[in-house]
Amino acid sequence: MKIAVGADHGGYPLNVRIVAELRAVGHAVEDFGTRDGARGDDYPDYARRVGEAVREGGAEVGIVVCGSGVGASVAANKLRGVRAALCSDTYSAHQSREHDDCNVLCLGARVTGEELAMEIVRAFVGARFTGEERHLRRLAKVLDIERAETSKANDEV
């Protein structure tokens, strides 16, 4: 699977592990950085790059890691077409794909231990949207909100 990943300095150490493991099991991973965990950089830059890769079809799913995962998820969810899930447990990780068709996983490297984080990654990457009617109905309502917000923003210009 094509997977886009990115992390700020807070998420860097965990991101190194994620990239290594996903590549080792055969995924095509595009790493949008950072390459320098000692530099105080900004999580929106990585959330944006990963989100754009997913939205534009360069990756099927994305993973963004920051210190808490909160900033990464707030930023990623600003991109149209991105549904980012901040997860600290494996149930939410697979359900976010199966029910909510989330396409970006966010992790907090300072909050979630590394081994649990890797289980969360495996649960997210391994799950698929079920496409069941009730989930499609709810997803359509989410997309309605996104469309309405976008047209409101366009009207304001």
Is 43 an interacting residue with respect to ligand RB5 (CB under 6 A)?
yes
- According to DSSP, the residues that pair with 84 across neighbouring strands are 104
The token pair that represents 25 in the structure block: 């099991």
Neighbours of 118 (CB within 10 A): 17
Among 6, 51, 62, 71, binds ligand RB5 (CB under 6 A): 71
Rounded to the nearest 5°, which phi and psi values hold at 44?
-60, -30
For residues 147 and 142, what is the distance between their CA atoms, to the nearest angstrom? 9
Residue range at the interface with ligand RB5 (CB under 6 A); choices 12-20, 50-58, 61-69, 83-91: 61-69
Is 10 an interacting residue with respect to ligand RB5 (CB under 6 A)?
yes
Among 17, 37, 67, 122, binds ligand RB5 (CB under 6 A): 67
Q: Residue 38 carries which side chain, given as an amino acid letter?
A: A
Active site residue 66: yes
Catalytic residue numbers read: 66, 99
Q: Residues in the site for ligand RB5, rule: CB under 6 A?
A: 8, 10, 43, 66-68, 70-71
